Structure 1
């Protein structure tokens, strides 16, 4: 019997255990699987929090994928607990709403003739004087012109990363907004594409009645029924290696476990430090940075007249980055349908000025900023509020990240029974479905003795909000 330890009970970690169970005809006789979860809940950054009867996501998580295996798992676990929701997400800039993804004619109609002229001239310049695509700024400016980039990409991106856009690698843009440019957007708006059917998530999306946490809670129940142990409030404090293998791990209660395989979805820097790496690797991992965020669930005593699921805040005078309207995600998330359940999101770093603010001050700031930009009327009163801090949510693609990551990966690849999965585990900006699929591949590598390319997941993907097909 193989002893398999999985670190982290987020989507990737749970999915690797699920795939092992699914593959095996007689699971309990082949694998002894233990999942170590540092918190008291499963789901990672895809969990759903609860605030006195109001459910809210830690960031919005749509259930959309082009990976059939992932779709099959979702349907196997939740079955008819999905609901189809209308989807509207917009950009809020200069107290006006703009379509997201950006639509040229929508933007032109709202920015004014003078601004339209400047945008046109900027775009023409970008086509005549192409930049070498090193940074995010280069990549977007080549496709939209510098001025439109400044309005619809720069402010929000720098809120998320706290890094100038000319210091963020172009690779991030190519992963997240691939396929978008002024030319491509105009073509779609005017002509469509006769060669393929393009469906975006603008119109509707699938969503669990009670949020993504419902999916992962049900998945955890399924795993428990299959004799997978989930050790809550548990984390690894030490690892013993022998030559090029990890032979045992020690948890925070000083329990030692002999293992044959280790799958890690915990943040890559935490994993590396457990191995007592050489100085070169330690320096590299120290220079890999994550961004965190804070979400504030604000329950107001009236219903806001907005149909958006979420709104990107491009107003530079506030730190508020994104607003979720949970009533529009699912009516089941909201205890009182006459109240508005709002998620105010702030991007930050662990232990920075915002992160260490007391909850009551963060709540006050969230209310002040959301009313300052006129998203919520001044006469709306807060009836309840809750603050959740989410550490290490976003890997930062800064100038030196690729070299540092390659040093770390080369070091970790030397351990033949260690596999990294998930967004934080791989330091890779995966969507939820990509993270799940990395868990599947890690399980298949163990079960079949093969070497599926986990690092190849989410390479050269189509634009992450599009599916090119005649079906979902």
Structure 2
């Protein structure tokens, strides 16, 4: 997300000089949210920000957040080697929501992003530079099943209806045949995800799996989702092959861009992003309390960091949550819009 100076801050939010808060006071008063830490109230929101010429850094591009998106932006800026830039994050360890928590016993818990897979050479080259050795990775074949009526059905469900009870096989096949016949005469594109499901797998599989599963994943009905994002993410079954597998009682082969994937040999998924960050110049990375965002002045294109440093920027790339960004900007109208 690129945040330019899109809003005007009220005049009462002028920047005045004072000592930056101590780390202890900040820990007590500031709520951490993603790449930004936010005071619980906006009283005197910008009163503790030094003037622009005090403890100041000037960059063409400031990147907030050292998750995959922020690191990717910083990586590209480093490669083109033209604009000056800086990346900041309130966490000592880069990775954001794609980081990995490690218990004292050594157990790994991937926070968000778990498995990566790509057909993009630029992305692959970036990851290969970070972890270049064959010993850095394990190669895996995905083994996934759907629990349905007491049975384990291989994923993707719609390719393996041969594993269903007979009455459910009939329901699924009837729906697929109806969908295929209707799709042949359709002259418009599906208007939403639900219509895409109906055209590709029909009513039977829609009710058996696609609607309940996707509601569980996205917490939004399929009728409320658009379908331009699908691409390789959802399998469109081959009716002839599915019918053949039903007759022969065979399971379909593995499918999808992540049918096989690699996983870091050490440190979980988070280890990828730690090593991506290591490919960036240290002097342009501020991770930890001195990279914590206290306030954003979009009018004057300045950001106050946790150690009292003011960063003056021309362009701001923010990967923090939109509501967190609005909180940091201390704009009541924007904050209200995010609720």
Same fold (TM over 0.5): yes
Give the Å deviation of 1:10. 0.3
> d(CA) in 1 for partners of 2:240 and 2:327?
45
Aligned to 2:161: 107
Task: Give the SS at the match of 1:170.
Answer: coil
Give the Å deviation of 1:22. 2.8
Structure 1 runs of 4+ with >6 Å offset: 187-190
Bigger Rg, structure 1 or 2: 2
Aligned to 1:98: 153
> d(CA) in 1 for partners of 2:332 and 2:240?
48
Distance 1:206 1:283, change over 3 A: same
Match of 1:205 among 234, 244, 261: 261
> d(CA) in 2 for partners of 1:188 and 1:2?
62
**Residues 1:238 and 2:290 aligned together:** no
Match of 2:90 among 33, 38, 42: 38
Return 155-164 or 6-15, whichever deviates more.
155-164
TM-score (norm 2): 0.66
Aligned to 1:153: 210
> d(CA) in 2 for partners of 1:120 and 1:181?
11
Aligned to 1:10: 67
RCO comparison, higher one (Cα < 8 Å, 6+)? 2
**Residues 1:49 and 2:101 aligned together:** yes
Give the Å deviation of 1:253. 5.1
Structure 2 gap segments, 5+ residues each: 1-57, 247-253
Distance 1:121 1:223, change over 3 A: same
Task: Give the SS at the match of 2:132.
Answer: helix
Distance 1:62 1:184, change over 3 A: farther
Any conservation in 1 of the 2:59–2:86 contact (CA below 8 Å)?
A: no
**Residues 1:262 and 2:319 aligned together:** no
Any conservation in 1 of the 2:175–2:203 contact (CA below 8 Å)?
A: yes
Q: Give the CA RMSD over aligned residues.
A: 3.4
> d(CA) in 1 for partners of 2:244 and 2:280?
44
Aligned to 2:122: 69
Return 270-279 or 246-255, whichever deviates more.
270-279
Give the Å deviation of 1:92. 2.3
Distance 1:176 1:58, change over 3 A: farther
Distance 1:232 1:224, change over 3 A: farther
> d(CA) in 1 for partners of 2:331 and 2:192?
31
Task: Give the SS at the match of 1:79.
Answer: coil
Aligned ranges for residues 150-229 of structure 1 at < 5 Å? 150-172=207-229, 174-175=230-231, 177=233, 180-183=236-239, 186=242, 200-201=256-257, 204-210=260-266, 211-225=268-282, 227-229=283-285
Give the Å deviation of 1:103. 5.3
Deviation per residue, 1:101-154 (Å, 9 max, x gap): 2353x322x212211112222233334556983332221121101111222222
Aligned ranges for residues 315-464 of structure 1 at < 5 Å? none
Distance 1:125 1:85, change over 3 A: closer
Give the Å deviation of 1:212. 1.7
Any conservation in 1 of the 2:93–2:287 contact (CA below 8 Å)?
A: no
Distance 1:229 1:103, change over 3 A: same
Distance 1:150 1:158, change over 3 A: same
Aligned ranges for residues 71-90 of structure 1 at < 5 Å? 71-80=124-133, 81-90=136-145
> d(CA) in 2 for partners of 1:274 and 1:54?
35
**Residues 1:249 and 2:306 aligned together:** no
Q: How many residues align?
A: 266
> d(CA) in 2 for partners of 1:159 and 1:170?
17
Task: Give the SS at the match of 1:214.
Answer: helix
